[in-house]
Structure 1
Amino acid sequence: MAILDAALELVGELGYERVTMDGIAARAHASKTTMYRRWPTKAELVADALRRHAQGDAPAVPDSGTLHGDLLATVAEIAETLTGDRGPSLIGLIEAVRDDATLREHVASQVRERSHQVGREICGRAATRGEPVHTDRAEAVLDLAFARLFTATLFDGGRPSLEEQRTLVDTILLPLLTTAPGRAA
């Protein structure tokens, strides 16, 4: 949709704070009335644009055939969203998310809903395949993955390497999902 694309382009070019609804309407050649009917605030419009961009119209959950492979693919997707290789990065919006309560609420909700949905789906598939997995830990483990990748991206100044992503999956995420509490793997 042209309006969402225009919002992403402008956020990438100008930064969230400098983007206006007028600017988005002009870039998209759209009516502000139409925009305000669907998105009452800039924060809601930008959050919707980010969601659509990160997930696409019909988000697919990684399905490699193994829990390990699905976790690796999911971690790579989270890292890409944080660094914004295909548009504005979540890290680049950190001040806007901090300062704009509406944007913060929408982005936080989207991140949690998506990561929880992905976690439930990949763990459910693993259980169906007969892999030993604690499906009840799926949401917490994906929250942990996002937090670790976010922190690494913020403090290291870039996307975690493939080796760092693999280490996160192999030494933290997979053991948490497949090992009984109090037992070594």
Structure 2
Amino acid sequence: MVKSIAPSEDTRTAEPGSSELRGEARTVAILDAALELIGEVGYERVTMDSIAARAHASKMTMYRRWPTKSELVAEALRRHAQGDAPAVPDTGTMRGDLLATVAEIAETLTGAHGPSLIGLIEAIRDDAALREHVSSQVRERSHQVGREICARAISRGEAVHAERAETVLDLAFEHLFTSTLFDGAQPSRERQRSLVDAILLPLLSSGS
């Protein structure tokens, strides 16, 4: 079990010699430091102390916002993959939106410019708190995307099984995750198109 670690008295101020940042710049520095360290030494060996030192941040500030390492890392992964206000792709058709979304999921899994979910699979398996945070974020984002894609399609006049949106996006993520894990690389564009055209689009299109 991963327990929250309360800051001790000697963590209530920034470390001597640190140049503590403020506001959003401080948040970005902390989250970037977490991802950098995971890439260098792995999730298991990263500590809140090492993140604070890399980011020149106050540990009190970190513990106030992220009581555990798993919470901090989960937010870092989310921001890295999506940005602060991720936009759902709008291509003009439901098929196009699904293709763009599948491509985004594939990129997230392999982490071209930072830690990937596939690379963190052992940490996610062994750390229940990290697993819960990441799972919650993935499902929340997938469901949001599915609902928005269907709502847009309906507004364009496309016939859609909107009630299937969340399930279909869960299926897309799970298929891409499994394929990436077993193949050691993200699915090709051709396989991504096949997933959309043979499975996702028929499930969402009314009359299928």
The number of aligned residues is 181
**Which has the larger share of helix?**
1
Distance 2:104 2:153 in 1: 19
* 2:114 is equivalent to residue 87 of structure 1: yes
Q: Hey, what does 1:96 align to over in structure 2?
A: 123
**Partner of residue 35, structure 1:** 62
Give the whole-Å Cα distance in 1 for the aligned partners of 2:162 and 2:206. Answer: 12
CA distance in 2, matches of 1:66, 1:126: 7
- Structure 1, unpaired ranges of 5+: none
2:204 matched residue in structure 1? 177
How far apart in 1 are the matches of 2:125 and 2:178?
15
Aligned-residue identity in percent: 81
Structure 1 vs Structure 2 CA RMSD: 0.8
- Cross-structure match for 2:44: 17
- Equivalent residue number for residue 121 of structure 1: 148
In 2, Cα distance between the equivalents of 1:77 and 1:56? 12
Q: Among residues 41, 61, 75, which one is paired with 2:102 in the alignment?
A: 75
Q: Which has the larger radius of gyration?
A: 2
Distance 1:70 1:152 in 2: 21
What does residue 47 of structure 1 align with? 74
3-state SS in 2 of match to 1:60: coil
Deviating 4+ runs (over 4 angstroms): none
Q: Distance in 1 between matches of 2:43 and 2:166?
A: 30
Q: Where does the alignment leave 5 or more consecutive residues of structure 2 unmatched?
A: 1-27
Matches of 2:41 and 2:192, distance apart in 1: 31
* Aligned mates of 1:107, 1:47 — CA distance in 2: 6
> What does the per-residue CA deviation read over 1:18-69, in whole Å, with 9 as the maximum and x for residues that have no partner?
1111110111011111111111110000001111111101110000010000
Distance 1:2 1:122 in 2: 33
Q: For 1:173 and 1:13, how far apart are their aligned partners in 2?
A: 37
Residue of structure 2 equivalent to 1:112: 139
Task: Give 1:179 shift.
Answer: 4.4
Aligned to 1:155: 182
How do 1:128-143 and structure 2 match up within 5 A? Answer: 128-143=155-170
Distance 2:113 2:98 in 1: 21
